[in-house]
Structure 1
């Protein structure tokens, strides 16, 4: 990487960190180009130079949270875990990460901000999806289940996960945080047990 590319990437990081600071301290509604530029130490026009638009900046911010979430989950996985235990743990701690950061959950998964971001501009979210599917493949290989079933099971479990997070984030359920986390990992185990013929 050339010096100019290193500087450009470093400067982009200043904006991303500034935007995250605004979101975490004041909420997404307080995010604007002027405030982010002041915190980053650059002119407002620089946002457009580095990200093309405010939407581009928010897409980069969302992708930076994907790195945090992956690190949070990875720190809780061990080599001694079976593929199923790793899958259950991944779902549980994905839920925990976003339960502890409800504004980030809403920004990433429920807002229109940064929606135009393509896969190349969001490599970390793409990597997160690949890691999840790799875990599914490991479990499914043990169960001798085909690709079509794998895709359906992943869709069911991910819908369950996001539905639970949505309902708790908006106060639409009386369930407490710990019960939700137990339900998420228990649901993964339950579905996999059925696939394996344990039920």
Structure 2
């Protein structure tokens, strides 16, 4: 029995391209109106397809958000790796990575809000995304860089977690409390890093 003629299956590149198109439109709506304005029906209208076509590529709105989170984090990591390509000194590599991380979020406040301040997101959505191996890898690089500098396995986990939370905190303050006369972000970031790699011996103060 002859096969019924029809539209040939889309290639993998076509699928990825269409998913990217949907995500870019979702990001545009988010930037203009907030994530609450993003809906599958709205995206279908903007992209020019049926709502079911959107559902064929994304399970729902939260799936699109996770895609955008991953895209932004990949962009951030790519910027850091690009600056580290020709740097060999461990301490300098760490400093550049830390400075680039903070600068990225300060220079892209809409990306910061999307990743760290999205509304209408459940705890399970965040947990699923955060515990994904690809997501963890974006932050694991700081642990790897710190390990080379500190050369002390006992302190790397606490040090990297403190560093990451501090970097996000600097970006958060600058992005959300703009009227406060903050010290230059680079100076704050260097102070943070210095406190991690050259900590005060609190035992000697007692």
Q: 2:170, 2:185 within 8 Å by CA — same for their partners in 1?
A: yes
Which residue number in structure 2 is paired with residue 169 of structure 1? 175
Q: TM-score, normalised by structure 2?
A: 0.77
Task: List 4+ stretches of structure 1 deviating above 4 A.
Answer: 119-124
Inter-partner Cα distance in structure 1 for 2:130 and 2:110: 25
Aligned residues: 190
- Long gaps (5+) in structure 2: 1-8, 201-206
Q: TM-score, normalised by structure 1?
A: 0.79
Shift of the alpha carbon at 1:58? 0.8
Seen in structure 2, the aligned counterparts of structure 1 residues 15 and 90 have a Cα distance that, compared at 3 Å, is: same
Which residue number in structure 1 is paired with residue 138 of structure 2? 128
Which residue number in structure 2 is paired with residue 149 of structure 1? 155
Aligned pairs (5 A) from 1:39-58: 39-58=46-65
Which residue number in structure 1 is paired with residue 203 of structure 2? none
Shift of the alpha carbon at 1:46? 2.4
Seen in structure 2, the aligned counterparts of structure 1 residues 120 and 88 have a Cα distance that, compared at 3 Å, is: closer
Who wins on radius of gyration, i.e. which is larger? 2
Q: 1:37, 1:44 within 8 Å by CA — same for their partners in 2?
A: yes
Calculate the aligned-residue CA RMSD, in Å.
Answer: 2.9
- Long gaps (5+) in structure 1: none
Deviations 1:92-111 (A, max 9, x none): 11111111121221110122
Inter-partner Cα distance in structure 2 for 1:97 and 1:90: 10
Q: 1:64, 1:124 within 8 Å by CA — same for their partners in 2?
A: no
| Counterpart secondary structure, 2:50 | coil
Out of 150, 158, 165, the residue aligned to residue 159 of structure 1 is 165
Q: 1:37, 1:47 within 8 Å by CA — same for their partners in 2?
A: yes
